[in-house]
Amino acid sequence: MNLKENKYNSFSLIREMLETPRIISAFDPGVSERFVKPVLAKKGLFLTGEGSSRLFPAKRAIWSNLRKEFLMPVITEGCTQAREYNLDDFTVFLASNSGQTKEVIRLVNVLKAKKHKPVFGLTANVNTKLQELADDTHVLSCGKEEAVAATKSVIEQGLFYDSLLRNLRGVKMEGLGKLAEQTQEVLTAPIDKSITELLKNAGIIYFAGRDNGVAAEIALKTNEITRKRSAFFEGTFALHGIEEIMNRDEVLIWVDPFDVDQDKFMECIVKGVGVHVIAISSKQTIFPTIVIPDGGEYAEYLQLAAGWNMLVETGVALGIDLDHPRRARKVGNEYVPE
């Protein structure tokens, strides 16, 4: 994708995606420092929100935390189910780009009624209900998004949690300049037309990969950007019965395939069913592969950007209005004052 061609530059979604490298390079890891002391005063960290405000930011934070020496539990759940949990020992972060998501505001009110502290907010807008109710709120620098599908804000939310966990550990967050350059490269890289054609013609697009928010978030964006059905299978779940209902010429996107079990995906999914498997990876796999730079500790941001690029090319090829879905809304379930 690029902004030089008319088929791309008319969409807010694409302009906002291409703002992401600037947001990454300008991100200040110090914005989360004021939250360190209250977080460390509790036994755990609970990250919640709805849709894109939770899938990638919270799940990537959990995945990253579990790969390091134990510090404290970091968990997530949707806001409505979280009302049933005992969160007394957790610092709670609620993310809502609009600051007006009904489920988020409802959970804040439940926690405040229990006199729970601290409750923090993460939003892209000022003077919102979330900011009014939370003990403290960080407002993202990315600005308001015009497109329905959240993109640049998802990355900045991820960076905020990333910086928070590093500051909790006393570790510097470095290399954002390089990440910004790599993100620009990934977003503007050409996508093989054979891949776009497969996605155009697929009735459903499956996603597989780690439960770190990347594949799940791209699956959600598939619905919003291409208007196609999608499903996310974490880990190797695709090998454990789901192939029974897969059909020939459907497509499965495998994000950062595990070194193990690629041969089994080939045997069962490709040869056994006839599903086209496409990989997103920093190295060539046995499947057709969208090869991206090695992002190291920031690899997931590049994987997400590659997914965006792939979906945009598909949506444009289908002639879809990327900014205006027929049914989806910018705020899925908006809080309305009584």
CATH number at residue 36: 3.40.50.10490
Q: How confident is the model at residue 328 (pLDDT cuts 50, 70, 90)?
A: confident
Place of tokens 């991820």: 158
Q: Which domain holds residue 214?
A: 182-317
Which range is most confident: 5-9, 148-152, 311-315? Answer: 311-315
Q: Strands, E, within the chain: which ranges? A: 44-49, 74-76, 90-95, 119-123, 136-139, 204-209, 229-234, 251-255, 276-281, 289-291
Q: Is the pLDDT of residue 270 over 70?
A: yes
58 close to 48: Cβ distance less than 8 angstroms: yes
Q: What is the pLDDT of residue 338?
A: 64
Q: Is the pLDDT of residue 97 over 80?
A: yes
Q: Are residues 144 and 202 in the same domain?
A: no
Which of 141-150, 157-166, 238-247 is least confident? Answer: 141-150
Q: Are residues 22 and 116 in the same domain?
A: yes
- Structural domains in the chain (count): 2
Question: How do residues 108-125 score in pLDDT, each as one tens digit?
Answer: 999 999 999 999 999 999
Q: What is the pLDDT of residue 329?
A: 66
Asked if omega into 38 is within 30° of 0 (cis), the reply is: no
Q: How confident is the model at residue 326 (pLDDT cuts 50, 70, 90)?
A: confident
Q: How confident is the model at residue 177 (pLDDT cuts 50, 70, 90)?
A: very high
Amino acid letter, residue 177: G
Q: Are residues 146 and 240 in the same domain?
A: no
Please name which of 129, 9, 164, 96 lies closest in space to residue 331, comparing C-alpha atoms: 96
Mean pLDDT of 304-329: 92
Residue 148 lies in a domain: yes
Residue 82 lies in a domain: yes
Q: What is the pLDDT of residue 333?
A: 78
Mean pLDDT of 14-42: 98
- Classify 252 as helix, strand or coil: strand
Q: Are residues 113 and 56 in the same domain?
A: yes
Q: Are residues 151 and 210 in the same domain?
A: no
Q: Is the pLDDT of residue 63 over 70?
A: yes
Helix (H) and strand (E) counts for the chain?
A: 15, 10
Does residue 331 or residue 9 have the better pLDDT? Answer: 9
Residue ending a domain, choose from 139, 162, 177: 177
Q: What is the pLDDT of residue 144?
A: 87
User: How many Å apart are CA 172 and CA 248, to the nearest integer?
Assistant: 48
Q: How confident is the model at residue 337 (pLDDT cuts 50, 70, 90)?
A: confident
Residue 326 lies in a domain: no
Q: The dihedral of CA 215, 306, 153, 36: what is its sign?
A: positive
Q: Are residues 147 and 211 in the same domain?
A: no
205 close to 236: Cβ distance less than 8 angstroms: no
The number of beta carbons lying within 10 Å of the beta carbon of residue 297 is 14
User: How many Å apart are CA 191 and CA 276, to the nearest integer?
Assistant: 16
Residue 323 lies in a domain: no
Q: What is the pLDDT of residue 4?
A: 87
Q: Are residues 34 and 139 in the same domain?
A: yes
Q: Are residues 160 and 187 in the same domain?
A: no
Q: Is the pLDDT of residue 330 over 90?
A: no
Q: Is the pLDDT of residue 90 over 90?
A: yes
Q: Is the pLDDT of residue 266 over 90?
A: yes
Task: Tokens for 42, please give them.
Answer: 């509790």
Q: How confident is the model at residue 71 (pLDDT cuts 50, 70, 90)?
A: very high
Q: Is the pLDDT of residue 327 over 80?
A: no
Task: Tokens for 145, please give them.
Answer: 């998004």
- Classify 43 as helix, strand or coil: coil
Q: Is the pLDDT of residue 23 over 90?
A: yes
Does residue 329 or residue 68 have the better pLDDT? Answer: 68
Q: Are residues 165 and 186 in the same domain?
A: no
Residue ending a domain, choose from 129, 160, 177: 177
The fraction of the chain above a pLDDT of 70, given in percent, is 99
Q: Are residues 159 and 124 in the same domain?
A: yes
